[in-house]
Amino acid sequence: MREPIVSIITVVYNSADALRSTIRSIAALTSTNVEYIIVDGGSSDGTLEVINENREVIDRWISEPDDGLYDAMNKGMEMASGDYFWFINAGDEPAFPDVLEDLWRTVPFADVYYGETMVIDADGNEIGLRRLSPPEDLNWRHFRHGMLVSHQSFIASRKVAKKYDLQYKFSADFDWCLYALRNALEIRNTHKVLCRFRDGGLTRQNIVPGLKERFRIMVKHYGLISTLLAHLIIAPKFFWFWARNKRF
């Protein structure tokens, strides 16, 4: 059986330095079954120069205006030809060069693979593991307690992936992952840190509207009463962690 192909998609806009570090980490991957796609929103800061300097690493790329992060992600999915989608946006990095090695050996072609996320600062220094940790055996019901797996550490088969719902400006990834989990027959815990996530992204910059969107998404998937009851636990934990660590 052939090894699956992973389409790694990077969305970027006016983040030349962050993109450079991401491309460097993609180039260091030891797996050869990787397709790398960059979707740029029409940058004017030198991002295109970084892309052109690294053309040998990139399989396909575009640079044009878009309607936000998730519209750009949809474009990336349309350009991709791989069996799986893995979103590693500008500033983020695969955790290790060999992170994809042995991923498929136990259960090839599972619908979803997931793992831990290491949070890093703008200089690449490790801050610590993400606040929420994935359960041993993840299913869609677990997201009732929050997004227990970072989008950057969630590798989904195109069989269970849909386009991002553009009515959500800050939390469409939450809805996207939930949809994939609800439609997945085989979900595998890699027991690895899959991604190094740069702190301070879109969600961090829009915490309140992002949380409001997540509430709406949870109501859609779980119902109002279940969502309200879940927030009696989620909210205190969130604000306690935020007050203590100034991150989430």
Q: pLDDT, tens digit, for every residue of 43-76?
A: 999 999 999 999 999 999 999 999 999 999 999 9
pLDDT at residue number 230: 80
Q: How far is 95 from 234, CA to CA, in rounded Å? A: 28
For residue 186, the enclosing domain spans: 6-201
Q: How far is 160 from 206, CA to CA, in rounded Å? A: 28
pLDDT at residue number 125: 93
Kindly report whether the global pTM for this prediction surpasses the value 0.85. yes
Q: Is residue 49 part of a domain?
A: yes
pLDDT at residue number 112: 98
- 218's tokens: 């949870």
Q: How many CA atoms lie within 13 A of 215 on its CB side?
A: 14
Q: Is residue 207 part of a domain?
A: no
Q: Is residue 243 part of a domain?
A: no
pLDDT at residue number 201: 61
Q: How far is 120 from 196, CA to CA, in rounded Å? A: 6
> Hey, how many other C-beta atoms are within 10 angstroms of the C-beta on 136?
7
Q: Is residue 227 part of a domain?
A: no
Instruction: Report the CATH number at residue 123.
Output: 3.90.550.10
> Is residue 114 within 8 Å of 187, Cβ to Cβ?
yes
pLDDT at residue number 101: 87
Q: Measured in whole angstroms, how far is the alpha carbon of residue 180 from the centre of its chain?
A: 13
Q: Is residue 24 part of a domain?
A: yes
| Strand stretches in 93-137, DSSP E | 93-94, 112-120, 126-129
Q: Is residue 1 part of a domain?
A: no
Relative to beta strand 6-12, strand 84-87 is: parallel
Helix/strand/coil for 59: coil
Q: How far is 86 from 113, CA to CA, in rounded Å? A: 10
Percentage of the chain lying above the pLDDT 90 cut: 76
The C-alpha angle with vertex 85 and arms to 143 and 90, in degrees rounded to 5, equals 90
Q: pLDDT tens across 111-150, in order?
A: 999 999 999 998 899 999 998 889 999 999 999 988 999 9
pLDDT at residue number 131: 82
Q: Is residue 103 part of a domain?
A: yes
pLDDT at residue number 248: 53
Residues of the chain falling short of pLDDT 50: none
Q: Is residue 216 part of a domain?
A: no
The number of domains in the chain is 1
Sorted by sequence, the CB contacts under 8 Å of residue 205 that are 6+ apart come out as none
